[in-house]
Amino acid sequence: MAMKHLLTLARRSQRRLCLNQAIRSASSAVAAVFSPFTSPATPSPSPFPHVIMPYDEASETVKSKLKKLENPDTRFLKYASPNPTLASHDHILAAPETRVTTLPNGLCIATESNLSAKTATVGVWIDAGSRFESESTNGTAHFLEHMIFKGTERRTRSGLEEEIENIGGHLNAYTSREHTTFYAKVLDTNVNQALDVLADTLQKSEFKEASIEHERGVILREMQEVEGKTEEVVFDHLHATAFQHTPLGRTILGPPQNIKSITRDDLQNYIKTHYTASRIVIAAAGAVKHEDIVEQVKKLFTKLSTDSTSTSQLVDKEPANFTGSESSPSWKDPDCVSLMVMQTMLGSWNKSVGGGRHMGSELAQRVAINEIAESIKAFNTNYKDTGLFGIYAVAKPDCLEDLAYAIMYQVTKLAYRVSEDDVTRAQNQLKSSFLCHLDGTTPVAEDIGRQLLTYGRRIPTAELFARIDAVDTGAVKRVANKYIYDKDIAISAIGPIQGLPDYNWFRRTTYWNRY
């Protein structure tokens, strides 16, 4: 009995000892967590096993992958780096690609190849027009356009015409206020011959006195014909009113007294001064290869002037100052695209076409329903440093007041209320008209030459459409408030205009007294 009692006491004392040790270890662990006097550097051992949670494993996996990216295996760096870098994708967006080569003398060559085509257009686009003439030489650029295909040292006038006709080609030229263009459209097998003709006429024209006197009479008769074209006369007067006493206000044809006095020396001096290599773009589109065009241009265009004077320097000497408050933006101004959308919103209409009652343009609807005009057309003309934005209309004398109210109401409304549907419709119409315009090798070549002279590059279609899509109602209101709201305007009109409101009436309608 005594022995059993001793064994029982021994077991109880052993249990109590184990229990006391467990209580002490647990209290020390709690103290390590909660006591501010316990050092974190020497934590007490925990009696519970450490359990790894799933999100801890995922975190460790990500850390290991990041370390591998920071120190990648050299085998994976053989062709490219795993780290992303900025890259240009213009060559992908520009389809088909416009290839550009600039020669050491500054002459620019640009082509857009379409080898499935059977024709090609090659031309010379020159950054020179009537605005770069003086008052005494106004009309020289247009006179030179008439003289350029009238015979060279190698080709007579009749020989030149027969050569182009024999290959089924077409030669043409035109002059604007800032650009002069000579181009030829031929079959794919005659591209080199067309380049030879253009180079010969541009560099080796003879300008015989007999031809000058003959073209002098032709231009004077052309001026009489232009006087009968209402639209051209109105726009010439508009430029003369908007840009008074500046080169941009002069006409392209020039005054009759200048046409009667232009000499051979005037033509040659104009070529030496303005037909310089750095201001010329040779553009080609259609069935052409860029390398072949470049090689031909290097061989043929060797006698161009190397004068380094740029058109920007000439414009800075004689800028176009708008007579009113604020002129429209230039080609390079970001607001130019918004004004293009606004022009499309205002739209155009002609009585002979019909359909105005159901057109998207509110101005066209009002004019067609009330029959207050024969035709209307919104315009947005841009230049290097300025522009013109407005409405051209033809109406009967007794409808002028109603027509003026309708025009000014819709134009001023752009600064107050703009519908999202109208903006979207105008964007779609603008993009559609742009693509329809580029249907053919000649419009494409013209677009290449004009954009390279204006922007120094050809804007890809994707970029232009992105700029158009970026115009919203807020942009239209902002641009309208900048260029239309409470601004002085320029007006020109011809015919029986006794019923046309005076200038003060037009000026008052550039704003509304409403909030």
DSSP secondary structure string, 147-214? HTTS-BSS--HHHHHHHHHHTT-EEEEEE-SS-EEEEEEEEGGGHHHHHHHHHHHHH-B---HHHHHH
pLDDT given at position 353: 79
Q: Which tokens sit at 254?
A: 């020039």
Q: Which of 70-74, 258-262, 414-418 has the lowest mean pLDDT?
A: 70-74
The more confidently predicted of residues 254 and 26 is 254
What is the pLDDT averaged over residues 375-391? Answer: 92
Instruction: Report the alpha-carbon angle 442-443-446, nearest 5.
Output: 85
405, with CB counted inside 10 A (0-12, 13-18, 19+), is middle
147 has a pLDDT exceeding 80: yes
pLDDT given at position 115: 80
pLDDT given at position 17: 46
| Average pLDDT taken over every residue of the chain | 84
Under DSSP, the state recorded for 460 is: P
pLDDT given at position 216: 92
Which of 112, 133, 178, 215 is catalytic? The answer is 215
Give 199-208 pLDDT, tens digit per residue: 999 998 888 9
Per-residue pLDDT band for 514 (boundaries 50, 70, 90) equals: low
pLDDT given at position 445: 95
What is the pLDDT averaged over residues 329-334? Answer: 88
The candidate with the shortest Cα–Cα distance to 340, out of 413, 431, 445, 460, is 431
Give the C-alpha distances (Å, rounded to integers) separating 327 from 70, 131, 448, 482: 56, 17, 27, 10
How far apart CA 195 and CA 218 sit, in angstroms, is: 27
Q: Between β-strands 180-187 and 280-286, what pairing exists: parallel, antiparallel or unpaired?
A: unpaired
What is the pLDDT averaged over residues 332-341? Answer: 93
How far apart CA 101 and CA 452 sit, in angstroms, is: 11
Q: Which of 77-81, 115-119, 379-383, 492-496 has the lowest mean pLDDT?
A: 77-81
The candidate with the shortest Cα–Cα distance to 492, out of 350, 379, 343, 402, is 379
Contacts within 8 Å (CB) and 24+ apart, 458-463: 458/94, 458/98, 458/100, 458/110, 460/90, 460/93, 460/94, 461/93, 461/94, 461/95, 461/434, 461/435, 462/93, 462/94, 463/90, 463/93
What is the pLDDT averaged over residues 61-78? Answer: 67
331 has a pLDDT exceeding 70: yes
Q: Is 145 a catalytic residue?
A: yes
Q: Which of 41-45, 373-377, 442-446, 454-458 has the lowest mean pLDDT?
A: 41-45
Per-residue pLDDT band for 109 (boundaries 50, 70, 90) equals: very high
Using DSSP, state whether 244 is helix, strand or coil. coil
3-class DSSP string for 110-150:
EEEECCCCCEEEEEEEECCCHHHCCCCCCCHHHHHHHHCCC
Specify whether the CB–CB gap between 199 and 300 falls below 8 A: yes
The more confidently predicted of residues 26 and 435 is 435
Q: Is 215 a catalytic residue?
A: yes
pLDDT given at position 317: 76
Percent of the chain clearing pLDDT 70 (strictly above): 83
For the chain, domains (ranges, CATH) are: 92-317 (3.30.830.10), 334-510 (3.30.830.10)
- Bridge partner residues of 123 (DSSP): 183, 283
pLDDT given at position 305: 84
Please name the helix (run of DSSP H) or strand (run of DSSP E) that holds residue 11, with its range, or none: helix 2-34
What is the pLDDT averaged over residues 297-318? Answer: 83
Main-chain dihedrals φ then ψ at residue 21, nearest 5 degrees: -65, -40
pLDDT given at position 399: 93
Per-residue pLDDT band for 27 (boundaries 50, 70, 90) equals: very low
Main-chain dihedrals φ then ψ at residue 213, nearest 5 degrees: -65, -35
pLDDT given at position 513: 78
Other CB atoms within 10 A of residue 463 CB:
13
66 has a pLDDT exceeding 80: no
Under DSSP, the state recorded for 65 is: H
Instruction: Report the alpha-carbon angle 103-440-198, nearest 5.
Output: 40
Which of 112, 133, 145, 446 is catalytic? The answer is 145
What is the pLDDT averaged over residues 392-411? Answer: 94
- Bridge partner residues of 286 (DSSP): 113, 120
Per-residue pLDDT band for 416 (boundaries 50, 70, 90) equals: very high
Q: Between β-strands 280-286 and 387-394, what pairing exists: parallel, antiparallel or unpaired?
A: unpaired
Tell me which residue has tokens 């607001």. Answer: 335
Per-residue pLDDT band for 34 (boundaries 50, 70, 90) equals: very low
Give 210-235 pLDDT, tens digit per residue: 999 999 999 999 999 998 899 999 99
Q: Which tokens sit at 423?
A: 């903006």
Specify whether the CB–CB gap between 285 and 438 falls below 8 A: no
Main-chain dihedrals φ then ψ at residue 20, nearest 5 degrees: -65, -40
Per-residue pLDDT band for 280 (boundaries 50, 70, 90) equals: very high
Specify whether the CB–CB gap between 185 and 119 falls below 8 A: yes
Q: Which tokens sit at 188?
A: 């794919």
Tell me which residue has tokens 């014909």. Answer: 225
373 has a pLDDT exceeding 70: yes
Tell me which residue has tokens 């051992």. Answer: 45
